[in-house]
Structure 1
Amino acid sequence: MTVSSSCRRNLHSHTFRCKHASGDAVDYVRHALSTGVDTYGISDHTPLPGDRFNSHRMDMVELDDYHRAIKEAQHAFPDVRVLAGLECEDFEDCRSFYEDEILGQRNFDYLIGAGHFTPLRDQWEDSYFGMTSAAKLRAYSDHVCDLTESSLYLFIAHPDVFGLSSEHWNEDLKACSQDILAAAEANQKPLEINGGGIRKLAERSGKEAHPGFPLREFWEVASDYRVSVVCNSDAHQPDHAMASIKECVQYAEELGLTIASDEQLGIKPI
């Protein structure tokens, strides 16, 4: 995929419904238009049956309105390929909901697999700052490997967030990375370079000890594997609709990583 075309696509954005973002689908696509966008995916955090973990995601009663808002954006901007998506936690008892209702009945275009939480001893641990031991990192890598094996998910969001839990790169982080990358290669599952992480790195520069994400060492290891990447903004406000995507693309180019094409992702021409 050429650099110019990869800079015209974003598949990771949110709306006000997740309770930590602003704006609606039409606002994000409108802002993206000025960049020459041709493909824009709206992919807010999915509601979960029983409204679990709903402090950072939409409630189930908002799903109809979310779907309507995406259709409104599709109608308002016919020259942009506006896709309906959701960012999903891989809870085993939610998979039928994703498959039957979201992809089936509602005919959404794609789902993103995300490991914000890691299953550990019958509870869910924070994947960002809770991966503080070799055992926890193993649990995280096992969970993300499972995500790569699932046909439900088009790609895996920010697989390198576990780096936030450690102050320095070490052998445990390397082993975790290798496990994830081997699974992504075996299952031909693209991995995301996350623009939201790039923006946070810029904001934090020199202030905190941990390496943050994108985790440079993770992606350096990735260059030894036949994996493809998706460069996304992870926009949580409309003026970030296409933010940091060029930086993500440059990051991938510097490390010799292959950016997934529209064809590989199953994105059809308008």
Structure 2
Amino acid sequence: MPILDTKIKELEDMKKYPEKLFYDGNLELLKRPKISIVGSRRPLKYSKTQISNLASKLSNAGICVVSGGAMGIDAIAHQGAGANNTISVLPCGIDLRYPSVNKNLLNDIAENGLLLSQFDVGEKSRPYSFVLRNEVVVALGDALIVGEADEGSGTMRSVEFALEMGKDIYVLPHRIGESNATNKLLQNSKAKLITDIDSFIYSLYPDAKSAKEIVSDDFLKYCSTNPSYEDAVAKYPVRIFEAELSGEIVIKDGSVRVLT
């Protein structure tokens, strides 16, 4: 697997820049504005829905979603963004797929998005590797979104990294007794609340509309190859329906065609 031969500016916020970074996929994603999303491996249905919607809207605005490929919030964030507009940072060798339950998702990201790892090929995940992985995830993003977390969870180590790096932290509104860690962050004024997804995106990226054109161009370029409808839905689960409704594309004989 190739090793990145140039430095990623965002990672200079880390305590120690990784000695080496393996990659698999599209390095152009590193040039896009990026948001990191982390959270519980066993999220509530509410958190799943909101994070999926948030990641989808970020992606449609041209913002790349960064996460750690784990079960729960991580996987939902990757899926919501679409494999072509997400970066997954692995806690193991870049040739491995951990956790195995996300094997298909990680393979899709390798093919259409970007996988990163600071661990040698074949190296299995260990307790310390998750911590190192989390630091890279946080450093890559312009800000950190915590979808849901309990006190004392691994997610809170990511929060500590964000605070050390001076990154803004955002959380979802949760009821009393749910996601106690994020509620405590709000209580202690260490996080900001996302009350409206569109307003949140605009507050961080006022020119998000122009950024959206980047994703649109990628999508239409893909559609110009006349892919099957099934493949297009798998690759662009949200964008495909929007484009069909807006008249940018048409579905004919099981294939996608661009209307000019």
Query: Fold match, TM over 0.5?
Result: no
How high is the TM-score relative to the length of structure 1? 0.30
How high is the TM-score relative to the length of structure 2? 0.30
